[in-house]
Amino acid sequence: MPTTFKMEKNIIVTGASGMLGNATAQLLARRKANLFLVVHRKERGEEVLKSVQAEYPQGNHKLYFCDLSDLEAVSGLAVNIAKDAKEIYGLIHTAAMLSKQRRENSNGFELMFATNVISRFVLNRNLLPLLQAGQGRIISVTGPSPDRLNFTDLMAKGKFQPFLQFRMTNAANLMLSSVLARHLQDKRVTSNAYHPGVLQSNLMKQMPMIVRLITFPFGKTADQAANALTKLALDNQFFNQTGLFFKFTKVMGSPKNAQNVSDQEQLWETLQQLTKNISYQGKG
Ligand SMILES: NC(=O)c1ccc[n+]([C@@H]2O[C@H](COP(=O)([O-])OP(=O)(O)OC[C@H]3O[C@@H](n4cnc5c(N)ncnc54)[C@H](OP(=O)(O)O)[C@@H]3O)[C@@H](O)[C@H]2O)c1
């Protein structure tokens, strides 16, 4: 667990072209962080980089292109980041996708599970030395999914229900965040999950109409959600908080299923098995 407040602030934001990721990157740059922006579309990434540079021109900002569904590319991303930084102060996972058809990545993993969950696991694992050096904070953005993971079919090979599978990835990220906090105790790295409330983003536009209608009145602006996320990433008051699920800057309890410790450990073991052949060197 971190013991001192570090001044060097290299912060990785995945999904930096998304609604929350972009707003968060701008606010972090305004607070003089060096932004390591992870995107998968070149033009959009360059726009985000430009606006971050405008916020903090002295910053050592970097842009990385990576399709997070490609786990070898995720390993390569970690290698490339390690070439550019000796320490990482924050790793903020905002990237996520929803696919209405069942698709697989090159490892045969269901695409949402690979992109939203396994890529986070691999990035955390491969960047751990840099996070330890930076007394880093890992923040996993996710939603309060009440679902229990179906370990017999994590890749939804049986019945594929896109919104259920998406919620499963949220549940898995909540669980992963808790188990990581436990495993990282004494490693000077914290791990928390963050719920940004309801944002009318591209991701939300793919939700069923009923979900959009029910949640519409509770909508927040990206700046409100990004402001709280920036505080969790930078403020002293959060520097040793770990294993928590925040909604804005308040702790909210995870749904009961996500708190099940033996399920959390089973998920950890499963992800270790699934990624044991993903090299640490990646595609570079
Ligand atoms: N919106 C909500 O109401 C809500 C509620 C709870 C939790 N969340 C969580 O908040 C986070 C941010 O979501 P958002 O609402 O800001 O959605 P968003 O605007 O759609 O952002 C998602 C980001 O993920 C990126 N992404 C998707 N697939 C990728 C891939 N294969 N490789 C690399 N990047 C990829 C997208 O890049 P492109 O734009 O280039 O595709 C985009 O930058 C997500 O983790 C989401 O689960 C959102």
208: in domain: yes
Domain containing 124 equals 10-274
Q: How confident is the model at residue 3 (pLDDT cuts 50, 70, 90)?
A: very low
Q: What is the pLDDT of residue 279?
A: 81
Question: Does position 2 have pLDDT exceeding 70, yes or no?
Answer: no
In percent, the amount of the chain with pLDDT more than 90 equals: 86
Strand 90-93 relative to strand 10-14, pairing:
parallel
Distance 20 CA to ligand 1 centre (A): 8
Q: What is the mean pLDDT of residues 190-205?
A: 93
The residue type of 231 is K
Mean pLDDT of all residues in 12-29: 98
Closest CA to 39 of 70, 16, 11: 16
- Our answer on whether the CB atom of 40 is closer than 6 Å to any ligand 1 atom is yes
- Is residue 72 situated within a structural domain? yes
Residue 45 CB less than 6 A away from ligand 1: no
Q: What H or E segment, with its residue span, contains residue 224?
A: helix 222-234
For a substitution probing ligand 1, which of 12, 13, 20 has the most ligand atoms within 8 Å of its CB?
A: 20
Per the domain annotation, does 2 fall within a domain? no
**Could you say which DSSP state residue 258 is in?**
G
Q: How many CB atoms lie within 10 A of CB 111?
A: 18
Helices 119-133 and 162-183 sit at what angle, rounded to 10 degrees? 30
Using a pLDDT cut of 70, give the percent of the chain over it.
95
Q: Cα-flanking dihedrals φ and ψ of residue 93, to 5°?
A: -90, 105
Is the distance from the beta carbon of residue 50 to the nearest atom of ligand 1 less than 6 Å? no
What's the whole-number mean pLDDT along residues 192-200? 94
Q: Which atom of ligand 1 is nearest to the CA of 93?
A: 45
Q: How far is the C-alpha of 107 from the C-alpha of 86, rounded, in Å?
A: 30
202 lines ligand 1 (CB under 6 A): yes
Q: Is residue 4 part of a domain?
A: no
Instruction: Say if residues 55 and 26 touch (Cβ distance below 8 Å).
Output: yes
Mind listing the pLDDT tens digit for each residue in 153-194? Answer: 999 999 999 999 999 999 999 999 999 999 999 899 999 999
Q: Check pocket membership of 119 for ligand 1, CB cut-off 6 A.
A: no
Residue 88 covered by a domain: yes
Residue 213 counted as domain residue: yes
Higher pLDDT, 212 or 257: 257
Nearest CA-CA partner of 248 in 199, 190, 175: 199
- Please write the tens of the pLDDT for every residue from 72-123: 999 999 999 999 999 999 999 999 999 999 999 999 999 999 999 999 999 9
Residue 132 CB burial class (10 angstroms; 0-12, 13-18, ≥19): middle
Cβ distance 232 to 250 under 8 Å?
no
In a domain, 3, yes or no: no
41 lines ligand 1 (CB under 6 A): yes
Across the chain, what does the average pLDDT equal? 94
pLDDT band of residue 256 (cuts 50, 70, 90) is very high
Q: Are 246 and 232 in contact (CB under 8 A)?
A: yes
201 found inside a domain: yes
User: For residues 33 and 38, what is the distance between their CA atoms, to the nearest angstrom?
Assistant: 15
Q: Rounded CA gap, 14 and 121, in Å?
A: 13
How many domains does the chain contain in total?
Answer: 1
Q: Using a 6 Å cutoff on CB, does residue 198 contact ligand 1?
A: yes
The residue whose CA has the least distance to atom 12 of ligand 1 is: 94
Where residue 260 falls (left for φ over 0; alpha for ψ -120 to 50; beta otherwise) is: beta
What separation in Å is there between the alpha carbon of 4 and the centre of ligand 1?
Answer: 32
pLDDT of residue 213: 73
- Ligand 1 in reach of 112 Cβ (< 6 A): no
- CA angle, residues 226, 230, 232, in degrees to nearest 5: 120
Give the up-direction half-sphere exposure of residue 212: CA atoms within 13 A in the CB hemisphere.
10
37, pLDDT greater than 80: yes
Q: How confident is the model at residue 8 (pLDDT cuts 50, 70, 90)?
A: low
CATH number at residue 143: 3.40.50.720
Mutate to test the pocket of ligand 1, among 40, 93, 109, 115 (most ligand atoms within 8 A of CB): 40
